[in-house]
Structure 1
Amino acid sequence: MTALTAPRRTTFTDATTGPTFLRTLRAELLKLTTLRSTWWSLAIAAALSVAIAWLFGSASDGGDPILGVVVSAQFTMLVAGVLGAIAVTGEYATGMIRSTLTANPRRVQVALAKSVAIALVVGAATAVTYLVCLAVTVPTSSVAIVWSDPARAVLPLVFGIAAMVAYALIGMGFGLLIRNGAGAIAATVGVLFVAPIAVNLFALGGASWQWVVDLGRYLPVAAGSDLTAIPTGDVLVPALTLAAWVVGLVGAGMVLLQRRDA
């Protein structure tokens, strides 16, 4: 009699299929880039950035072109955050998250791939938008960009891209935590937009509320503004602040993703 052998178990890391993470990342990139909401969000952010950069250059009589580019993040941050939120909650709304987790039951890996996909798409779109903004502002500016001084040229642009990626991942973190589109968007808007306004109101209350103002420095938007300051100063604290927000929210979302039913 011939001995029965157990069938070879097919895994995601099979040599014929490639690493699991790369396959999952390709799938997440495909899902993200085939959604109309993604392209609408990126288009709105790009249009706002170019318009603000042009208005800044016109109103400031040829001011620093780099400042005209990075200042747009004060408005487009909400678009990035909302994009990150709906990239997650859209799957819960349609029930596609169950198919995603069936295809790859390693939930942390799915969340990591989704975060990398969002970071790549938002980062690339922001870089292209910045190039277009420079093309709009440089011809109308009487101030030359000193590319040989990274603190006044390259670094603010690089940190601006990083800040936009962080805003999108903050939205993704709320999406993983709340799993509801309206709730995740409300939380994202609250942290990125409403909280800084509230801090400014407390600043009017005098010294008794100074501790609230001091805490406001650790909000994502304040950290992003410090990162993109021209010339670039001490970036350690604002960089760690943004990283803490991203790691904290996305990390907590991953923990709940493992513990809760899809």
Structure 2
Amino acid sequence: MSTVTAPAPTQAKPVAKAHLSFPHLLRSEWIKFWTVRSTAWSLSIFFVVTVALIVLISLALKNAGVGDGPPGPVEDRVLGPYTVAAQLGQIALVVLAALAITGEYSTGMIRSSLTAAPRRTPVIWAKFLVLGGVFFVVALAANLLGAVLQQAFFSDDLKLDLGDPQIQRALFGTVLYTTTIALLSFALGALVRHSAAAIAIVLGALLVLPLLFQIPWKPLQEIQPFLPGVAGSNITQTDAQVEAGWDSFPPGVAHLTAWEGYAVLLAYLAVVLVGALVRIKKSDA
């Protein structure tokens, strides 16, 4: 009677440790961003509000006879609809940017992301790049459409010279300002990890602090030009508008140019973002 010899057990080969590359993280964050229902709603609200405000404020300026006067000041005032649209429309992006990171902390989904990327900081960078790219494109599209509609319906009264480098820089600066403010909201959300706190801090800095710092007390007045909203919004104006705004500050207060003001806003973003990166690296989710 023959015996059947069982094959010797083979030693299992060690499984190679999975490596999630940064492009994979980007793709993951892109998918997560667009699968949340609030994304489409918030971006749509921002787009519609921005375009509508540009058109409606242009109509109001036309009815007010803003075109009757010297050509220089008229060009500057015609940019007003874009500034107002950016200041109001950005609220939708501020909320969406904060929720993009705080929502994962509230649901616990962030733990899955950090498990897949143990180094942690690439998760923040991937979200940062996805949000920044989407916000920039949507803001650019909204302002371009607003400019097209403004010139189509109000070009006889509101002459906006799109060939003027100052006008081009101001319009492009409006897109930069809107995107940077939204990214600041994201960075604050990553730092404080609480939706209401992040949104309240950003909106408070943009809407409330400029009013408080108008109190006639010299230390407050000297700080006012360096507030994120005040400094950053310089990039949305022509040099003539920025210099005209200097008259609203008391003597001796620092005067920031358009790019200097935007650099101040970038500094706020950098400080908050570094704080968020340090916290996610050092503390548990």
| TM-score bucket (shorter structure) | 0.7 to 0.9
1:126 maps to which of 132, 135, 139? 139
Residue 95 of structure 1: CA displacement? 0.9
Cα deviation digits, residues 165-189 of structure 1 (max 9, x gap): 1111111111111111122222222
Q: Is the 8 A contact 2:190 2:276 kept in 1?
A: yes
Cα deviation digits, residues 76-130 of structure 1 (max 9, x gap): 2322222211111000111110111111112111111111111011111101111
Q: Single out whichever of 129-138 and 85-94 deviates more from structure 2.
A: 129-138
Q: Is the 8 A contact 2:101 2:186 kept in 1?
A: yes
Residue 11 of structure 1: CA displacement? 4.4
SS at match of 2:161: coil
Residue 238 (structure 1) aligned with residue 261 (structure 2)? yes
Q: Which amino acid aligns with 1:220?
A: P
Question: In the alignment, which residue of structure 2 is the partner of 1:258?
Answer: 281
SS at match of 2:137: helix
Residue 12 (structure 1) aligned with residue 19 (structure 2)? yes
SS at match of 1:148: coil
Cα deviation digits, residues 118-155 of structure 1 (max 9, x gap): 10111111011112211321122323332332112x21
Q: Which runs of 5+ in 2 are unaligned?
A: 1-10, 68-73, 243-256
Cα deviation digits, residues 173-229 of structure 1 (max 9, x gap): 1111111112222222222222122223x1xx3xxx132122121122112321111
SS at match of 2:213: helix
What is the total number of aligned residue pairs between the two structures?
Answer: 248
Q: Which runs of 5+ in 1 are unaligned?
A: 14-19
1:215 maps to which of 207, 218, 223? 223
SS at match of 1:131: helix
Question: In the alignment, which residue of structure 2 is the partner of 1:151?
Answer: 166
Question: In the alignment, which residue of structure 2 is the partner of 1:161?
Answer: 175
Question: In the alignment, which residue of structure 1 is the partner of 2:185?
Answer: 171
Q: Is the 8 A contact 1:123 1:165 kept in 2?
A: yes
Question: In the alignment, which residue of structure 2 is the partner of 1:43?
Answer: 44
Q: Which amino acid aligns with 2:22?
A: F
> 2 CA distance for matches of 1:189 and 1:71?
15
Q: Single out whichever of 216-225 and 119-128 deviates more from structure 2.
A: 216-225
Assess, with a 3 A threshold, how the Cα gap between structure 1 residues 147 and 54 changes in structure 2: closer, same or farther. Answer: closer
> 1 CA distance for matches of 2:261 and 2:280?
28
2:105 maps to which of 92, 96, 104? 92
> 2 CA distance for matches of 1:5 and 1:37?
47
Q: Is the 8 A contact 1:226 1:235 kept in 2?
A: yes
Q: Is the 8 A contact 2:49 2:85 kept in 1?
A: yes
- TM-score normalised over the length of structure 1: 0.86
SS at match of 2:226: coil
SS at match of 1:147: coil
Q: Which amino acid aligns with 2:236?
A: T
SS at match of 2:211: helix
